Amino acid sequence: MTVKFSRLPVFVSLMLIASAVCAQDVPAPPVQARTPHFGLDVFVGTPSAADDIFQAVFPGISLRFLYSRNVEFSLDYAFIALEYYYPKSPSGPWVGPVEWSSVPSRFSGLRDSWMFYHTRHYISPLAWYVERFDEGNSPFALRVGAGPVLSLVIPNGSADYYPGLSDAFEKYELDFDIHPGWSVAVGLEYAPWRLFRVGVEYLFIVDSLPDFVDNMGRSGLNYVDKAGNLKLFMGLRI
Amino acid sequence: MRHITRPFIGLLLWSFFLLTGCEEVINTILDNPAPMGLEVSDGEYPDRIEVSWIEPSLTSDRWEGWEITGYDISWSADGGISGFFHTGSTSYSIDVSIDERAKLYDIEVTTIVEGPVGGDTEEASSSDTGFALETRELIWYDGGYEYNFSGDDAWYVTMLQKGFTYSFAFSNGETGFVEIYRYKTLEPLLEATATGINPSWKCSGDGDWNKYYVRVVPTSPGAVFHAAYGF
C-alpha cells in the first residue's frame, strides 16, 4: 500500500498548529545581552513532485546576516545531485546522466573511483522579512523570503580526456531546462534557546513569471504543491 | 578544562603539521630564519623549474637587529647536474635543457641573515624536489586514436579510470614499452610497465584524482601508436 501525502497541506497544518501555540501565553525569554548579527543554518529538503531541480532529498547550508530585528539576508547553498555517465562499449556511445544504480553491473565496485560524473548545485541569495510573535517575547517567528536562484552543473575534469563523455555532457547541458529563476520561501522558526533555531520552511521555485502564470492557470494550487519543497532546518546565531 | 584543552592543542598542532609540512614546523619551533612556504614546480614547465618562497619573519626578540641579506639556491640531480645562485628576491627560475628534463632535482634555499654586530651571520635552509617536463595530452577517443612522435620517448598527461584497460598498439612492426606515473611525480607505478607490440595496462587506481603521466618509449626513436580504452 502506498501512502501519499501532499506537501502543501502538511506545511499549512504545521503553521496552524504553531500559530495556535503562539497564541497562548509563553514565558518571556531573559533579557538579551547582545543581539546576534550572523547565523548559520543547516537544512535538509524533500524532493518536489514536479520535474524541477530537486528530484531527491537534498542537504544544504544557509549563511545568514541579521540586518535588523525584522530583516535578514541569506545565502543558501544545496547540493542537488551526483549523476553518472558510462560508455556502452569501447567504441561508445556514452550514456548519462544516470543514478549509480543504473550503471551496468560490470562497473560495480568502481563507484568510489568512478570519474565520469557531474554534480549539480543550487545557490540562492534571499532577502527575508521576519515577524516575531508577541513583540519578540515568543520563541516563535514567521519568516518570508524571496530571491534569485542559480542552478549549476559542474562536470568532472575527465571530459577533457574522453571526447565521447564531453559530447554527452554538452548534450545534457543543452537539454538542461533549469535556467536562473526565483525562489519564494515561507517558514516558521522556533528558538528554544537564544542562539539556536529550528524550523520548517516551504520553498517554491519559479523559473520565470510567464512560466509560473501558465502553470498556475493550468494546475492552480496543485502546481504550488507539486513544485514546492519542504525544508527542515536548524541553526546557530552569533 | 584540562581534558578539553589537551586534545584541542593536539588537534591544532596536527593541523599545523599537515598544513605546513614537517620541515617548516621544526623551523618554526626552533625560530630559525629558514625560507617559509617553499614551492617548487613539478613538471609544469618544459624548460625550467620555478622556485619561490616567503621571506621568514625576524620579529622575535632573538632576531632583534638582524636582517636578511639574501638567499642561496643550490640544486643537484642525477647525471652530475648541479648549480648555485645567490639572489635578493624570493623566487628563482632554474633553466633546464632538453637532456635534463624528467630528472628529479633536489633544491635547497638558504636564508643568509646578518647580525647587528659586524661579521655575525647565520643561515637556515628549506628544501624540496622538482622537475621539468614536456608533456602533451593523451585523449581517449571512442574506438581509439593514432598518435605519433619523433623523439626517443613522449610524455603525456591523461586521466585513467580504475578497472579500464588502456592499450598502446605500435604500428609498422615497432615494439616498445609504456610506463605509468602518478601525476606530478617521477616515480613509475611498479605494476604499470607494459611491453611488446601492443602494450596495455589495466588501471588499478591510486592516481592523483585519476590523473597520470604516461611515458611511451619505442625501441627505436619515433613511433606511431594507436591508443584505445577498453573494459
Cβ–Cβ below 8 Å for B210 and A160: no
CATH code of B203's domain: 2.60.120.380
Question: Could you tell me if B32 and B114 lie in one domain?
Answer: yes
pLDDT of residue A2: 35
CA separation for the pair B231, B225 (Å, rounded): 19
As a dihedral over the C-alpha atoms of residue A205, residue A208, residue A213, residue A217, rounded to 10 degrees, the angle is -60
Question: Could you tell me if B126 and B23 lie in one domain?
Answer: yes
CA separation for the pair B131, A229 (Å, rounded): 53
Question: Could you tell me if B147 and B171 lie in one domain?
Answer: yes
Mind listing the pLDDT tens digit for each residue in A34-43?
Answer: 677 899 999 9
Question: Could you tell me if B162 and B175 lie in one domain?
Answer: yes
Chain B CB contacts of A167 under 8 Å are: none
Question: What are the boundaries of each domain within chain A?
Answer: 35-237
Question: Could you tell me if B62 and B84 lie in one domain?
Answer: yes
Across B47-67, average pLDDT? 92
> What pTM, to 2 d.p., does this model score?
0.75
* Domain end (from B79, B111, B130): B130
CA distances in angstroms from B219 to A151, B145, B188, B197, B199, listed in the order given: 52, 21, 19, 10, 13
Our count of domains for chain B comes to 2
Q: Grid coordinates representing B165?
A: 584497460
Q: What's chain A's Rg over C-alpha atoms?
A: 21
How many beta carbons lie within 10 A of that of residue A231, not counting itself? 24
Chain B CB contacts of A116 under 8 Å are: 161
Cβ within 8 Å of B, A 103-132: 106-107, 109-110, 113-116
B165 domain-assigned: yes
Question: Could you tell me if B125 and B156 lie in one domain?
Answer: no
B10 domain-assigned: no
Nearest to B140 among A113, A114, A162 (CB): A162
Cell 635547497 sits on residue? B108
Nearest to A164 among B137, B142, B230 (CB): B142
CATH code of B105's domain: 2.60.40.10
DSSP state of B11: H
Mind listing the pLDDT tens digit for each residue in B165-187?
Answer: 999 999 888 888 899 999 999 98
B1 domain-assigned: no
pLDDT of residue B111: 96
* Domain end (from B130, B149, B166): B130
Chain B touched by A15 (CB under 8 Å):
no
B155 domain-assigned: yes
B12 domain-assigned: no
B49 domain-assigned: yes
Cβ–Cβ below 8 Å for A113 and B138: no
Question: Could you tell me if B23 and B126 lie in one domain?
Answer: yes
Question: Could you tell me if B184 and B210 lie in one domain?
Answer: yes
Question: Could you tell me if B160 and B108 lie in one domain?
Answer: no
Between chain A and chain B, the number of residue pairs with CB atoms below 8 A apart is 57
Question: Could you tell me if B196 and B212 lie in one domain?
Answer: yes
Cβ–Cβ below 8 Å for B161 and A87: no
Which helix (H) or strand (E) segment is B7 a member of? Answer: helix B2-20
How far A161 CA sits from the closest chain B CA (Å)? 5
Mind listing the pLDDT tens digit for each residue in B120-137?
Answer: 899 999 999 999 999 999
Q: Which domain holds residue B141?
A: 135-230
Cβ–Cβ below 8 Å for A113 and B137: no
B220 domain-assigned: yes
Chain A CB contacts of B139 under 8 Å are: 161-163
Considering the domain A35-237 in this protein, what is its CATH number? 2.40.160.20
Question: Could you tell me if B124 and B221 lie in one domain?
Answer: no
Cβ within 8 Å of B, A 137-156: none
Question: Could you tell me if B147 and B219 lie in one domain?
Answer: yes
Complex ipTM tops 0.90? no
**Band of residue B22 on the pLDDT scale cut at 50, 70, 90:** low
Which residues are within 8 A (CB) of A20 and not within 5 positions of it... i.e. 6 or more apart? none
Residues A184/A228, Cβ–Cβ less than 8 Å: no
B153 domain-assigned: yes
* Domain end (from B130, B159, B174): B130
Which helix (H) or strand (E) segment is A15 a member of? Answer: helix A7-23
Cβ–Cβ below 8 Å for A90 and B230: yes
